[in-house]
Amino acid sequence: MIDQDVTGQDIVVEVWSDVLCPWCYIGKTRFQAALDRFENKDRVKVIWRSYQLAPETPVGEGRAVVDAMAARRGTTVDQLGEVLDHVTTTAAELGLELNYDAALASNTFDAHRLLHLAGDKQSDLLDALFKAFFRDGKMIDDREELVRIAVSVGLDADTVRDQLASDAAAAAVREDLAMARQFQVSGVPFFVANRAIAVSGAQTEDVFLQLLTAASQPA
């Protein structure tokens, strides 16, 4: 079941992504550009759903993300160079900054909880989280850092602090992760329109426009 109010909006796009995924950052930017071009934009409800690429990451470890990536892939940081150069260049073409020299490996579970609690600020918060992680080298599994990021998009500090200190939205994150397994999502970003049409990866603007156009057609 789609668990958010979509009254009056008959195109529902659910997107599984993770905050430490550069292609999710790129994909979100390209999708937003396509949405801005879409003539029926007001009919679209976008729901950002949780996915964890590295759920085993210890909270607060603060390890360099390139070291963590190399360990997961069984390679060396030097051998990652070509991959990182490619994604960094692709991001830069969209005006996005990926600073892998500063990025710190983080467990994203609390960040995903916060995204579920952000209401109509969800998209803005996700952008702010991407910038904090990729550009500014912030530890996005530090709850006080998450409070600061939330405040930057207009959320209340005390409310966010209390929410993070509780189990608020933990069940919602786990439900997203379970749905990803059900849909056999093996990589992110993963876009699903009306639970009928799926697109995987950081596709081009035109591909996302085609997705939105197809979803707008009568069943």
CA distance 214 to 34: 13
Q: Which residues have a Cβ under 8 Å from the Cβ of 87 and sit 6 or more positions away?
A: 22, 23, 26, 98
Q: How confident is the model at residue 218 (pLDDT cuts 50, 70, 90)?
A: confident
DSSP states along 19-79 = TT-HHHHHHHHHHHHHHHH-TTGGGEEEEEEE--S-TTPPTT---BHHHHHHHHHTS-HHH
**Average pLDDT over the chain, rounded to whole?**
94
Confirm whether pTM is higher than 0.85. yes
Of 28, 55, 49, 6, the C-alpha closest to 173 is: 49
Q: Is the pLDDT score of 5 beyond 50?
A: no
Q: Is-contact 147 117, C-beta < 8 A?
A: no
pLDDT, one tens digit per residue, over 83-110 is: 999 999 999 999 999 999 999 999 999 9
Identify the pLDDT of residue 4.
Answer: 42
User: Omega before 55 cis (within 30°)?
Assistant: no
HSE-CB of 68 using CA atoms within 13 angstroms: 20
Q: Domains in the chain, ordered, with CATH?
A: 11-57+107-216 (3.40.30.10)
